[in-house]
Amino acid sequence: MLLAEAIAADGAGCETAIRRAGHRCTKFRDGESAAAALRVCEFDVIVTDPRMPGNENLEVLRAQREWSPRTPTIVVTAQPTLGTAILALRLGAIDYLLKPIQAGGFVEVLERALSQSRNLRSLRDLRARMQDEQQLLERLEGVLSTIEPRLHHAEHLPRSRTERRASAPDLLVGLSKREIQILDRFSGGDRAPAIARDLGISPHTVRNHLKAIFGKLGVRSQLELARKLSDRQPPSPALAANR
């Protein structure tokens, strides 16, 4: 904590009470030094006396209000005035104590100030964690927004011949086993010569089978055939048995 007092005896009294209560403090003997410290350091509590060089107009309290507004501040003075007390409370002091201080009462106020400071710091840390989690969530949402279109695209990619065969519509039930074999190879992109070679038949026979397939399915072009096969209905038991 920060202790700002000019008179050694008074400062020693506050400092002794602070240290006996188990706390550490950094002491300044003028308002300018204390105010400068508040600009660069964070303290749990501020204890200050208005009757010190550079603090006649409560400059330490004004610096606290500007640079460390959440830090509890206690004013101690041997020369109290109503105007100074009112100004100190308006500037945010949590208490206004008279010297010579009573160690017990001073420590009680000090502990209350420390408890307030810890609670405020815990709340600030919680808000910071919540903000970090919110930023992480926003980043994850950003990543998902780039992945979802890819997944949607993948869902519409052509499926493998095995998947296409497994989801062929019931209209294929009327095809023979050989016609289903040729249709499977043809829909997979194989041409008549390759199909004929693998099945041990002539290309002419393959073409005749394809004509028959087109007629049974009621299509006149490869495009119409592709649209028929993309109608992905579950296969009927008859089709499964035909395979």
> End of a domain among 68, 95, 124?
124
**pLDDT over 90 at 160, yes or no:** no
- Residue 151 in domain: no
pTM summary value: 0.53
Q: 68-94, pLDDT tens digit by residue?
A: 998 999 999 988 899 999 999 999 999
Q: At 6, which CATH number?
A: 3.40.50.2300
**Together in a domain, 116 and 184:** no
**Together in a domain, 165 and 116:** no
**Together in a domain, 6 and 106:** yes
**Together in a domain, 12 and 115:** yes
Question: Could you give the number of structural domains in the chain?
Answer: 2
- Residue 53 in domain: yes
- What's the pLDDT band for 217 if we cut at 50, 70, 90? confident
Residue 101: domain span: 2-124
**Together in a domain, 114 and 167:** no
**Average of per-residue pLDDT values in the chain:** 81
Give how far Cα 187 sits from Cα of 191, 204, 208, 228, 236, Å.
Answer: 9, 18, 16, 11, 20
Q: 18-70, pLDDT tens digit by residue?
A: 999 999 999 999 999 999 999 999 999 999 999 889 998 899 999 999 999 98
- Residue 147 in domain: no
Q: What's the pLDDT score for residue 238?
A: 41
**pLDDT over 70 at 241, yes or no:** no
Q: At 166, which CATH number?
A: 1.10.10.10
- Residue 66 in domain: yes
Give how far Cα 119 sits from Cα of 48, 51, 72, 74, Å.
Answer: 22, 30, 11, 17
Q: 167-206, pLDDT tens digit by residue?
A: 444 556 778 888 888 888 887 778 888 888 989 999 899 8
The stretch 123-129 carries a mean pLDDT of 86
Q: Which residue has the tokens 């693998």?
A: 198
Q: What's the pLDDT score for residue 124?
A: 83
- Residue 200 in domain: yes
- Within a 10 A sphere around the Cβ of 177, how many other Cβ atoms? 9
Distance CA 143, CA 150 (A): 11
